[in-house]
Amino acid sequence: MNAITTMPATVELFDGTVTLTDWALTELSPDFYGHSYMQIGGWLPEGYQPGLISQGTNHMVRADLPGIADVAQAVNVTVETKGYGGSRRFMKIQWRHRSAPAELGEMLGCSAMGCRFGEWSSKAEERGWVRHGSGWLCVQCADAAEERAEIVARIDAGTWGAPALSYRAQQLLAHIQDDPGTRWQTGRAEQVYADLGYPKRGRRHNARGDLNELAARGLLVPHGPADGRYFLLAQPKDGA
Query: What DSSP designation does 66 have?
Result: T
Between 63-77, 103-117, 131-145, 213-227, the lowest mean confidence (pLDDT) is in 103-117
Same domain, 23 and 67: yes
Q: Are residues 47 and 116 in the same domain?
A: no
Residues 136 and 216 in one domain: no
- Residue spans of beta strands (DSSP E) within the chain: 2-5, 9-13, 16-27, 36-43, 56-64, 75-83, 89-98, 107-109, 118-120, 130-132, 135-137, 220-223, 230-233
Span 51-67, mean pLDDT? Answer: 87
Please tell me whether residues 174 and 226 are part of one structural domain: yes
Alpha-carbon distance 114 to 134, whole Å?
Answer: 17
Task: State how far the Cα of 60 lies from the Cα of 127, in Å rounded to an integer.
Answer: 36
pTM: 0.42
Residue 101 has pLDDT above 60, yes or no: no
Higher pLDDT, 90 or 113: 90
Same domain, 142 and 221: no
Does residue 150 lie in a domain region?
yes
* Structural domain of 147: 103-157
CATH of the domain at 182: 1.10.10.10
Is 239 part of any domain? no
Q: Looking at the structure, do residues 53 and 117 belong to the same domain, yes or no?
A: no
Domain assignment present for residue 152? The answer is yes
Residues 61, 22 share a domain? yes
Q: Assess if residue 50 is contained within a domain.
A: yes
* Total tally of structural domains belonging to the chain: 3
Q: Give percent of the chain above pLDDT 70.
A: 84
Greatest C-alpha distance within the chain: 102
